[in-house]
Amino acid sequence: MLYHVSAEWTPEDVAERFLKPCGMERLAKSFIDSNVTGTVLIALQESHLKELGCDRVGDRLTLLDYLHVSLHASGEHFVAGRKRPSNSYGKLHFSQK
């Protein structure tokens, strides 16, 4: 089941709603011990995953891809861990002459 990532999640929610569905529940203790909340999850990068004990490149890429898909499915857009208004995401604004 694909959950829509929420900045409101506790570390336990991240373990249950993010790690478990993508098959990475073995990392749950590390994420909980490191206080990875929904807000932190949204900002995670590959180097952070290494620090959290995700040693395999394939696992890191799987987690990042799952995060990307989950964020996209939620209709919410984030930049550097901060919510960006949906109406400005991916749109270019041109002035008409």
Q: Could you give the domains of the chain?
A: 11-84 (1.10.150.50)
pLDDT band at 73 (very low <50, low <70, confident <90, very high): confident
* Angstrom distances, CA of residue 3 to CA of 15, 33, 53, 93: 12, 22, 23, 32
At 23-44, the pLDDT tens digits run: 999 999 999 999 999 999 999 9
| 21 vs 88: CA distance, rounded Å | 30
